[in-house]
A and B are shown apart, each in its own frame.
Chain A
């Protein structure tokens, strides 16, 4: 159909070339090539039933716009049969008895057929799977002529056609690109790691691939909060690993029973195993290790008044730098600090963290103007131990749960000269 349309647009009724259709031959060639795609892109094999070298044939036809979208077409049906099918008003199970597509090539008879839509076309019966086919997975289409309306008995054996899209490249390329915190000296009550990957990863039983070992290479038992939902960012290139709060607090049961996950003065290795598969199902290129030493716990809320602001000069787009006395949580420091003018107008720009998350750097989109500015910080910002501005991570219940800042933000002023 598409080819006929392109042909018609290329040539008029007299067969003369239509003006302005210079690009069409290329499109025509492309569509023509695509119609042979089953032979080149995927592996297609039809097997006729032994009883009758029947007039029916099954063809896998890829969608020219999406190689994974492949339909099945049965041709050789008479006009009368197609008409009967059109009028049959069948329910899905009836269609499936006539034509069905299975994952695998008949290895498990108990598995149901794939879901999809059946269409009766002018010269064929077409099945469009509801979901795209998976690369590297074998599929089998089965057409059973004895299920055609009006056909009685079972003299005609089913015919089948197998199909497989080429498997994805199996060469591992995805790596762990960074683990935050970047520092190699971390507090005993460290709360989180962020593991960044170079490409999207896959979900499901991820904690099997994450290990924490002590200096002797002994595995630390259950150091992380294993959350079935898994704390991914939407792109699935960053995983948040929370250290079980039960193992970083004073007087908490798991801590007393199996000890804290991390102890001051000792060294540990966080290992991400290469067996973990990325979003395309390919293992990581290599193992990743982060070796770090543990220092004393940090139970003090971060004090923003001790932050050092280095304002750039007016008229240029030089970066504004803010230095923290201690490293801050990477994700939160990026997200919850902003710059406004004196009147509260947000200054647009790009944020980066440097010096092992001790320096916040802001590059404005437009040159700085002379005047007063404000650094606005949400108090939910955390240091590496999860302490917020005005609120330590651990709350002493007997001294009051209310011990927190009411204000959601704090501000620091600076001047651009």
Chain B
């Protein structure tokens, strides 16, 4: 019995080491302290409860080990009405002074994380908010957390303009979306001066950030001519055995390109696989499986959420000729899902959406995947 206890203890110790090893792989170079932010933009979760937060104002990405790694207890569905009012009350202000910049679900704990701006002016304070499965809304303290930080390479390109703008550099790059795949963080951005849309890939842990990839994607969506249109949102997706990024552009063509092509300095020509009509801005996108088939779910500005089938994606040819409205992969519109600004997957059967209801109030709720 004693020997059994010893074996058990040794096994548990070894398992502990293994588990520690797994998380140490991602957090060993993190430091503990106060994670400072000038702004909080797009969010995404990586492995082991690590949350990536884009700080466009500081031209940086911060990886935070949230420690929120207790697996969700069960399928408790989230519904918080007036989430913007609740957050405003916690932060001592009114709902019109709250902007919710992004939503990400921790895939382990299934808690929802929101990047919030308290205030709308230049002095706005970024706040990270967590909504637990029971609907409790709390502010995540960043005073003492394990984190690492990547300054974005080539951010404000004013190396040689010393004399021109000693006053202050008005250039800034916005970050429109971030995503994590196989040890790399993908960052889509757009500058406020030169018309440059970039997609960067930086390895995580962040030690080799200087080698960040900077690619330009051209997609021959509408005929011969194309420019560097900005990526609005993207999702990662396997086609056959190869990882792809599916990017939705501001005028809604859906473009795919293999992740393996995203190498430093590469100029990639993406393949346009769907035109989803216009007068329409994509807002957010996820990939999910149902009944053995893979779908894309896309929130957009002018119609209900779009459910896009990917069955023909490997066979889809590139759309290179002008099209009347929509072409390529077929989709259906989930009309009843109105006002959806943000979405993220909760589990294999549910998605969490942030939706605008009448009166300007925002609700955070889980819905069954369509």
Q: A222-B279, A232-B172, A347-B163 are in contact. Are A251 and B225 (CB under 8 A)?
A: yes
What's the Cα separation between A104 and B89 when bound, in Å?
Answer: 9
Task: Give the Cβ gap from A131 to chain B, nearest Cβ, in Å.
Answer: 5
Interface size class of A (residues with CB under 8 A): 35 or more
Contacts of A253 in B (CB 8 A): 221-222, 251, 275, 278, 322-325
The answer, yes or no, to whether B193 is at the interface (CB within 8 Å) is: yes
Task: Give the Cβ gap from B200 to chain A, nearest Cβ, in Å.
Answer: 16
Most chain B Cβ neighbours within 10 Å, of A201, A246, A257, A277:
A246
Contacts of A249 in B (CB 8 A): 222, 225-227
Contact flags (1/0) for A270-281 with B, using CB distance below 8 Å?
A: 000000011111
The answer, yes or no, to whether B139 is at the interface (CB within 8 Å) is: yes
The answer, yes or no, to whether B336 is at the interface (CB within 8 Å) is: no
In the complex, the answer to whether A225 meets B230 with C-beta atoms within 8 Å is yes
What's the Cα separation between A250 and B221 when bound, in Å?
Answer: 12
The answer, yes or no, to whether A203 is at the interface (CB within 8 Å) is: yes
In the complex, the answer to whether B269 meets A200 with C-beta atoms within 8 Å is no
In the complex, the answer to whether B120 meets A139 with C-beta atoms within 8 Å is no
Contact flags (1/0) for B240-267 with A, using CB distance below 8 Å?
A: 0000000000110000000000000001
In the complex, the answer to whether A335 meets B278 with C-beta atoms within 8 Å is no
In the complex, the answer to whether B224 meets A331 with C-beta atoms within 8 Å is no
What's the Cα separation between A331 and B168 when bound, in Å?
Answer: 12
Nearest to B324 among chain A residues (CB) is A257
Task: Give the Cβ gap from B357 to chain A, nearest Cβ, in Å.
Answer: 16
The answer, yes or no, to whether A287 is at the interface (CB within 8 Å) is: no
> Which of B21-29, B92-100, B106-114, B304-312 touches A?
B92-100
Q: A134-B93, A200-B122, A246-B278 are in contact. Are A394 and B225 (CB under 8 A)?
A: yes
Please name 20 pairs of A and B residues whose Cβ atoms are closer than 8 Å in the assembled complex, sorted by A: A111-B86, A112-B86, A115-B139, A129-B92, A131-B91, A133-B92, A225-B230, A229-B41, A231-B172, A235-B168, A236-B121, A257-B278, A335-B158, A335-B161, A338-B160, A338-B162, A338-B164, A351-B165, A395-B225, A402-B267
Q: A235-B168, A338-B160 are in contact. List 12 more A-B contacts (CB 8 A).
A: A103-B88, A202-B120, A203-B99, A227-B174, A229-B174, A231-B172, A240-B192, A253-B221, A257-B278, A335-B169, A351-B164, A401-B269
Which residues of A are in contact with B by a Cβ distance under 8 Å? 101-104, 108, 111-115, 129-134, 137, 139, 191-192, 200-204, 221-222, 225-236, 238, 240, 242, 244-246, 249-254, 256-258, 277-281, 329, 331-332, 334-339, 346-351, 362, 365, 376, 378, 380, 382, 386, 393-398, 401-402, 409
